[in-house]
Amino acid sequence: MDQTIDMKDIDKDIDAILKAYVAVNSETCTPGEKGAEAFLLDYLGNIPYFAQHGDHFGSYEIQDDPLERSVCWAMVKGEGEETVILLHHSDVVGVEDFKTLKRHAFCPDRLEEELKKISAELQSEAREDLHSGDYLFGRGAADMKGGGAIQLALLKRYSELHGLKGNLILLALPDEENLSAGMRAAVNLLAELKEKYGLR
């Protein structure tokens, strides 16, 4: 079977996913974290593989969590037991350090425009980065919704393969910036998936 992934235009997909993901204000320990969960479930539900395999993705509730957060997960089930796990966190730290620009912290394009208006106040290295056009700004873009966007784009492409050797699981964790409640819940989720599907 052909195991070649079509990488055409993946950069555009990653950029679109990332900007939409960053737009979700998912500050840690706030109800906004549920917004990231909704975003992820919507994205996954629109991938044909998961529309056809509704039991291969979902949210896994964190027990006794006051904010009722859940771990979002998805699995592309292939042949065999070997399994790779893609992992990122969906919460972000607060935006107080953005000061007067904090209302733009979750809109990369607008934030870049606003930063350019005050670029004279920035340190020279930051100013050069800003004007280079090589960077995307916004809370969570690097830590770590950028990684999450790459994982989501890859997961979609792997879901399009036929006869995939092995399995792929994606985990998106809340509460990483605080007490890691998401990862602690994910350990139980992984144990359940391992048992149910015979994964290694």
- Predicted structure pTM score: 0.94
Quick one: pLDDT at residue 2? 56
Q: What is the mean pLDDT of residues 125-132?
A: 95
- The owner of tokens 């340190």 is 123
Residue 5: pLDDT band (50, 70, 90) is confident
Which tens digits make up the pLDDT trace of 22-50?
999 999 999 999 999 999 999 999 999 99
Burial 147-172, CB ≥16 within 10 A → b, else e? ebbbbbbbbbbbbebeebebbbbbbb
Which tens digits make up the pLDDT trace of 182-191?
999 999 999 9
Listing DSSP states for 37-77 in one string gives: HHHHHHHHHTSHHHHH-GGGEEEEEPTT-TT--EEEEEEE-
5 vs 111, higher pLDDT: 111
Q: What is the mean pLDDT of residues 62-77?
A: 97
